[in-house]
Amino acid sequence: MLALSILGKLIWPQSFLEKGVAFLPKTFFGFFQGLPLVSEGDRIKKLEEQNLALISSLVDQERLKKENAALLSQFQTQDVQTLSLLPSKIVGAPGFIPGITTPSNFILDKGTKDFVTVGDSVVVNNNLVGKVSKVSSHLSKVDIVTNPSVSFTARTISGTIGVVKGGGADKITLDNVLPSDNLKKNDLVLTKGDVDIDGVGIPADLVVGKIQSIEKVPTNIFQRAEVKSLINFTKQSIVFIVVGPK
């Protein structure tokens, strides 16, 4: 069975089985999220949402400034791409202590039948949640930005370029930053964008998080910073998959 699965010969039976049982984890996860110990207070939730919305508008303002400057100079016109988003429910978020420790991945209720492909990015508002790492016909697996398998180029809001790497257990680092570059605490870290010709990848200007601490050792080739995501991954129930033009 394992061999057949590796060779991709079990796609149809897997799809059939998934179709039959996919609603079960969805119901179970929904029930779990509704538990009084897990569900957060309305006020905190509202404040968190407001915070995310404010940061999104800050990034939008930054992008508009850039676009304006580019249009004015007539050298480059940055096309503000409207992202096509696919709302998706989280049906699984395995973490050590459910509802407390950050899960390393999410299982979503959308798959290849909804045109989700490996490499698609997943967002909440303007914040990056992670990257789709595996897709079946009815489900998809998203590696969260804190997952060690996630790595992509990013920039700070002041323009310093580096590579964001997931460190596992709620850690994100901005690495490979030149020592001559200026990193500031509380600066926002944004994605640089690596969308390929098929529209798959991480779009530019999504918020990864805020710089918490900077590690600059004179003998090291690069400096690095610890980044904290603005999203509370344990409290999410709906996320959006950025689907490219299919």
Residues contributing to the site for another protein (CB under 8 A): 1-2, 4-6, 10, 14, 17-18, 21, 24-25, 28-29, 32, 91-99, 101, 104, 107, 134, 136, 139-141, 148, 168-169
Output 8 or 159, the one with its CB closest to another protein: 8
Report how far apart, in Å, the C-alpha atoms of 56 and of each of 22, 83, 188 are: 33, 14, 11
Least distance (Å) from another protein to the CB of residue 29? 6
Least distance (Å) from another protein to the CB of residue 184? 29
The token pair at 246 is: 């299919």
Least distance (Å) from another protein to the CB of residue 144? 11
Output 134 or 184, the one with its CB closest to another protein: 134
Least distance (Å) from another protein to the CB of residue 149? 8
CA distance 163 to 173: 8
> 11-21 and 23-33 are packed helices; what angle lies between their axes, rounded to 10 degrees?
40
| 134 sits in which H/E element | strand 127-135
Output 2 or 72, the one with its CB closest to another protein: 2
Instruction: Kindly give the pairing relationship between strand 238-242 and strand 121-124.
Output: antiparallel
Q: How many CA atoms lie within 13 A of 185 on its CB side?
A: 5
The token pair at 38 is: 């897990």
Output 10 or 195, the one with its CB closest to another protein: 10
